[in-house]
Amino acid sequence: IGSEVARRAAALGATVIGTKRSGPFVPPPPPLKWLSPDNDRLLREADVVVLTVPGTGHASTAGLVNRTSLLLMRPHALLVPVSAGPINFGDLEAVLRDERPKQRAVIDTWPGGCWHYPNASCGPPLGPPDFPGSPVLARLPNVLPLPSLSMRDAAYWRSAADSVARNLDALANGKPLEGVVRNASDVVSVI
C-alpha cells in the first residue's frame, strides 16, 4: 500500500519520503526523495503522513501513533492512517482537541472496523454500528471521519448486495423496506 501511495503522490508533484525498518536505504527507490529507518525525522518533515504499517495484531506497530509521535509532527500536518492497530485513539483525540488544533486527520479506520471480519463488527447490515470509534474524535473540526469503507471486505459487500436484493423483493411485493432513512422534511408535525 505504501509504495502505491508514494507512486501516486509523486505523480501529483509531492516530494515523497519514507521509512522502513531495514535497508537498503541508498539510493532510495523511486519516487522517494529519501528512505531511512528514522520515523522521527519523517514525522518532523512531513506535511502529510500516510501510515501504511500492519494493523491489529502486530506488536511491533501497536501504539505507533501516540502523543509523542503526534507532537513530533508539524503543527499543521495531516495524518492518514490505513489501519487502526497502530493508533492510540485516546492520544489522537487529546492531541487534536487540546494541543494541536491545526493538526488534522482523515480517519477511515476505527477500532471496531471490519478488517478482521467475522470477529469484528462492520456495522449494518453485518452488525451493530461501530462508527465512530469516539464520538468526540469524529466531531472535532480538524478530523474528517469516514465510515470505514476502506476496511470493507468481500463478505461485507455480499451481505450489502443481499440487503439490496431483499429490499427490491420487498418493494416488488409491497412489503416494508429495511434500513430506510427518511428525510426530515417528510415528517409532518401537527400542533
Structural domain contains residue 3: no
Do the domain assignments include residue 113?
yes
Domain annotation covers residue 182: yes
Is residue 143 domain-resident? yes
Share of residues in the chain with pLDDT > 70 (%): 73
pTM beyond cutoff 0.85 = no
**pLDDT per residue as tens digits for the range 118-168:** 444 555 555 555 554 567 888 899 998 876 655 555 666 777 788 888 888
Residue ranges of alpha helices (H) inside the chain are: 2-11, 39-45, 67-72, 89-94, 135-139, 154-172
What are the tens digits of pLDDT across the range 64-100? 899 999 999 999 999 998 877 788 889 999 999 999 9
The CATH number of the domain holding residue 56 is: 3.40.50.720
Residue 26 resides in a domain? no
In whole angstroms, what is the distance from residue 142 CA to residue 159 CA? 33
Question: For residue 19, which phi and psi values (nearest 5 degrees)?
Answer: -130, 155
